Amino acid sequence: MTIELHTWNTPNGRKISVALEEMGLPYKVVPVNITKGEQMAPGFLKLSPNNKIPAIVDPEGPDGKPVSIFESGAILLYLGEKTGKFLPKSLAGRIPVYEWLMWQMGGFGPMPGQVHHFIALENEQDRAYGLKRYMAETRRLYGVLDHRLDGRDFVAGDLSIADFAILGWAWRHPRHKVELAEFPNVKRWYETLMARPAVKRGMEAKLD
């Protein structure tokens, strides 16, 4: 059964396309053009009441019944539970996955997202304060990630949904004005993931 991925070409959308490819799940993209406000359409709001992409519809959800899920972190957890892939079976193994998934959701997403917002402003005075504040915090978060990856291949032990979540935002490092060479562990991790065939497919999937 084919999963519907309602999304647009954003870091949060890429998290899910990468996960679906890595898990080998069939899916089709239903574009939601956020530049035209399609995320506010009543049909989409039924799937995502917070009017944010992505959302999925799985026609073969729990007990074989259709289910829709919004919020990218919730989607990743659901897909990990559904497939038994990239989410450890033991509670001890899941703890770092939960930690680093929440780290991404609470920080390494909202903060670079503010960089995206302020960098697009035309008025230099409007841009200056916001960029200084959020670029500094974004660089701090890259440093946290770099420290975590010192001596580790992936953020939570084995490759997991936490890596996919973080990758969606690290993919936009040029837009964050961050040179990965300054964070060598992040650079190694990023290049390792981007070399995976399924990640490559997920990153190249047409989401818009």
Once rounded to an integer, what is the mean pLDDT over residues 151-178? 96
pLDDT value of position 8? 97
pLDDT value of position 118? 85
pLDDT value of position 116? 84
Q: Which residues contact 15 (CB under 8 A, 6 or more apart)?
A: 54, 72, 76, 164, 165, 167, 168
Q: What angle do CA 30, 63, 28 make, to 5 degrees?
A: 15
Sequence length of the chain is 208
Domain ranges for the chain, please list them. Answer: 3-87+200-204, 91-196
Once rounded to an integer, what is the mean pLDDT over residues 50-70? 97
Correct CATH for 3-87+200-204 of 3.40.50.800, 3.40.50.720, 2.40.440.10, 3.40.30.10:
3.40.30.10
Mean predicted lDDT score pLDDT of the chain: 95
Q: What percent of the chain has pLDDT over 90?
A: 88
Given the structure tokens 């818009």, which residue do they identify?
208
pLDDT digits (tens, 9 = 90+) for 146-159: 999 999 999 999 99
Residue 140 to residue 193: CA distance in whole angstroms:
22
CATH topology of domain 91-196: Glutathione S-transferase Yfyf (Class Pi); Chain A, domain 2 (1.20.1050)
pLDDT digits (tens, 9 = 90+) for 98-155: 999 999 999 999 899 888 888 887 888 878 888 888 999 999 999 999 999 999 999 9
